[in-house]
Chain A
Amino acid sequence: MLLSEATNPGGAFSLVPWIVFFPAIGLLLNLAVGKRMGEKFIGTVASLAAGLAFAVSAALFFALQANHGEAVAVPFLDWIRIGEFNAGWHFRVDTLSVTMMLVVSGIGTLIHIYAAGYMHYDVRYKEDPAAYNRFFIYLNLFIAMMMILVSGDNYLMLFVGWEGVGLCSFLLIGFWYNRSPDGTPGTGNSYAAKKAFIANRVGDFGFLMAVFTTFWVTRSLQFDEVFHAVESGEVPVWAVWAITLFMLLGVTGKSAQIPLYVWLPDAMAGPTPVSALIHAATMVTAGVYLIARSAPIFSSIEAVHNVVAWVGAGTALFAASIAVGQYDIKKVLAYSTVSQLGFMVAAVGMGAYAAGMFHLVMHAFFKALLFLGSGSVILAVERGHHPIGEDAEHAKHADHGHDDHGHAFDPQDMRNMGGLRTRIPWTFWTYMMGALALAGIPPWSGFFSKDEILTDALHFNVSLYVVLTLAAFLTAFYMGRQVWLVFFGAPRSHGAEAAKESPPTILAPLVVLAGLSMFGGFLNFPVLHQFGHWLEYTLGHLYHATDFLWEVALGSTAFALAAIYVSWLVYGQKPRRTVKEKDPLEKAIPGLFAGMNAKWWVDEIYEDLIIRPYQKLAAFLADVVDWRFWHDWFHDRVLRDGFFGITRFLAQPVDLGVIDGIANGLARLAQGSAAALSVLQTGFVRNYALWVFVGVVSILGFLIFR
Chain B
Amino acid sequence: MVPVQYFVGLSAILFTLGALGVLTRRNAIIIFMSIELMLNSANLLFVAFARAFEALSGQIFVFFVMTVAAAEVAVGLALIVAVFRTKDTINIDEVSSLRG
Contact = CB atoms under 8 A, between A and B. Distances in A.
Interface string B73-100: 0000000000000000000110011111
B96 A686 contact: no
Contacts of A682: 96, 99
A690 B96 contact: no
Contacts of A693: 19, 23
B45 interface: no
Contacts of B31: 686
Interface string B12-54: 0000000100111000000100000000000000000000000
B99 A685 contact: no
A681 B23 contact: no
A289 B100 CA distance: 105
B15 to A, nearest CB: 11
Contact of B100 (A678, A689, A690): A678
A686 B99 CA distance: 13
A684 interface: yes
A389 interface: no
Contact of A681 (B19, B24, B93, B99): B99
Nearest to B20: A693
Interface residues of B, number: 12
A10 interface: no
Contacts of B93: 684
Interface in A639-687: 678, 681-686
A693 B97 CA distance: 24
A681 B100 contact: yes
B24 A683 contact: no
Contacts of B22: 686, 689
A684 B98 CA distance: 9
Given A690-B23, A693-B23, A685 B100 contact: no
Q: Is the interface of B mostly helix, strand, loop or mixed?
A: helix
A684 B31 CA distance: 13
Contacts of A683: 96-100
A690 B24 CA distance: 10
A490 B19 CA distance: 148
A518 B96 CA distance: 132
Contacts of B100: 678, 681, 683
A678 B100 CA distance: 7
The listed residue with most B CB atoms (<10 A of its CB), out of A681, A686, A689, A690, is A686
Interface in A676-706: 678, 681-686, 689-690, 693
A684 B97 CA distance: 10
A682 B98 CA distance: 9
A357 B93 CA distance: 127
B33 to A, nearest CB: 14
Q: Is the interface of A mostly helix, strand, loop or mixed?
A: helix
Contact of B92 (A678, A681, A686, A690): A686
A662 B96 CA distance: 36
A429 B100 CA distance: 123
B98 A686 contact: no
A495 B88 CA distance: 130
A683 B96 CA distance: 5
A597 to B, nearest CB: 108
Nearest to A682: B99
Nearest to B24: A686
Contacts of A685: 92
A684 B96 contact: yes
The listed residue with most B CB atoms (<10 A of its CB), out of A678, A682, A683, A689, is A683
A683 B97 CA distance: 8
Nearest to A686: B23
A681 B31 CA distance: 20
A311 to B, nearest CB: 104
A625 B89 CA distance: 91
Interface string A527-550: 000000000000000000000000
A322 B97 CA distance: 116
A689 B35 CA distance: 11
Interface string A201-227: 000000000000000000000000000
Contacts of A681: 99-100
A689 B23 contact: yes
B99 to A, nearest CB: 3
A444 B97 CA distance: 130
Interface string A404-427: 000000000000000000000000
Contacts of B99: 681-683
Nearest to A674: B100
Interface string A307-323: 00000000000000000
A678 B98 CA distance: 12
Nearest to A678: B100
Contacts of B23: 686, 689-690, 693
B32 to A, nearest CB: 11
A670 to B, nearest CB: 15
Interface string A598-614: 00000000000000000
A680 to B, nearest CB: 10
B36 to A, nearest CB: 15
The listed residue with most B CB atoms (<10 A of its CB), out of A678, A681, A684, is A684
A682 B97 CA distance: 10
Nearest to B26: A686
A693 B96 CA distance: 21
A681 B99 CA distance: 7
B22 to A, nearest CB: 5
A681 B24 CA distance: 18
Nearest to B21: A686
B73 to A, nearest CB: 17
Nearest to A683: B99
A681 B96 CA distance: 10
A550 to B, nearest CB: 133
The listed residue with most A CB atoms (<10 A of its CB), out of B22, B97, B98, is B22
A697 to B, nearest CB: 10
B92 A684 contact: yes
A683 B100 CA distance: 8
A609 to B, nearest CB: 93
A686 B91 CA distance: 12
A691 to B, nearest CB: 10
A671 to B, nearest CB: 13
A379 B67 CA distance: 136
Nearest to A687: B23
A685 B24 CA distance: 11
Contacts of A678: 100
Contacts of B97: 683
24 contacts: A678-B100, A681-B99, A681-B100, A682-B96, A682-B99, A683-B96, A683-B97, A683-B98, A683-B99, A683-B100, A684-B92, A684-B93, A684-B96, A685-B92, A686-B22, A686-B23, A686-B24, A686-B31, A686-B92, A689-B22, A689-B23, A690-B23, A693-B19, A693-B23
Interface of B: 19, 22-24, 31, 92-93, 96-100
Across the A-B interface, give the 6 residue pairs with the lowest CB-CB distance, nearest first.
Answer: A683-B99, A683-B96, A686-B23, A690-B23, A689-B22, A681-B100
Given A683-B97, A683-B98, A684-B96, 5 more contacts: A683-B96, A686-B31, A686-B92, A689-B22, A689-B23
